[in-house]
Amino acid sequence: MEGTSRALSNTIRFVGLLGSHAIGSNPRFMATAVDLGRELVRRKIRLTYGGGNVGLQGAVASTVYNNGGRVRGFIPGYIATRGVYGPTYGAEYTVSSNYYKYFEMNHIVEAFIVLPGGIDTIEGLFTLISWASEGLHSRPIGLLNIDSYFNNLIKFLDDAVRQNFMALNQRKLFISSFFVDELLDKLEFAKAFPGPGASYEEFANPRRTPLRYEIRPFGTTNSRGHSLTNEVGLADHRDGRPRLTGGRPLLTEGGRRHLAGQATVDRWPLEVDRLSDSRGPFRCLTRWSTVCVDRLGLRIFLLIF
């Protein structure tokens, strides 16, 4: 699929946002919502959302609006009248119900992004699922799976396909990622190449090179007694022998960061948020995860030998 990275530029111009009007108990939810807003502005993607200035939706909308982005809010009249969510960023449109909020969004957006949330968020998501099953839309739906929040939902969708309650082409509308930039890349790819044979993994790593990131922190040992060295970098395993090739991200033609292979190992409880290298500490996405992000934003998977 040569040249596809150039074809992905600005394939999505308008996204619809689903998510909570609360901030949740996990501080990473709010931090990632702000990151999403910044990335939408950087890509010049306009935003439509459920109105108001509170919660995760408000964080995304305020970030986009205050950085010069275009924002449109759809809010049910009975909620707007009570002022529950506060003022809306950008242009506000009053609708009669949540159903018509999603109905209006569906007419103007090219993809949906779903942040963590509760009943209202899941109601909107399942409305979109229902419409897809009835052939009313085929827009990709991106689940921003912060700290694996949507893992059970993803399992439910996969089980529905296995039990013949959901068509595979409908399941393929649902895209997930732990990372803002990768989720938007996947949504843009799905918009540019909607055919059943298109594969984001083949696009991101066309030669299927089995590369993987490694972090080995300073001669410590894990709970199983495995020794770790003090290097961070990209290891090349093509010939079956690990070989450190440098601490740089794999880059595509378009210059965007991609993870070539997400090979992870044991998920034993190592306190990975305390790891560091010579530049300072690594910010890990979850305390018990094998995923860390370094200070430059490079995604690194912990591979323990």
Any idea where the domains of the chain sit in the sequence?
Answer: 14-204
Tell me the pLDDT band of 224, cut-offs 50, 70 and 90: very low
pLDDT in tens, 141-156: 999 999 889 999 999 9
CATH number (3.40.50.12280, 1.10.4100.10, 2.60.34.10, 3.40.50.450) of 14-204 reads: 3.40.50.450
Cα separation, 73 vs 51, in Å, equals 4
Q: Locate 258 and state its tokens.
A: 């991609």
CA separation, residue 66 to residues 62, 105, 225 (Å) = 6, 22, 50
Cα separation, 279 vs 30, in Å, equals 26
**Is 90 exceeded by the pLDDT of residue 57?**
yes
Q: Locate 240 and state its tokens.
A: 């079956």
Q: Tell me which of 52-66, 103-117, 129-143, 223-237 is least confident.
A: 223-237
pLDDT score at 10:
62
**Is 50 exceeded by the pLDDT of residue 37?**
yes
* Full-model pTM: 0.67
Burial of 127 by CB count in 10 Å (0-12 exposed, 13-18 middle, 19+ buried)? middle
Tell me the pLDDT band of 254, cut-offs 50, 70 and 90: very low
Cα separation, 68 vs 41, in Å, equals 7
Tell me the pLDDT band of 186, cut-offs 50, 70 and 90: confident
pLDDT score at 192:
76
Cα separation, 258 vs 47, in Å, equals 24
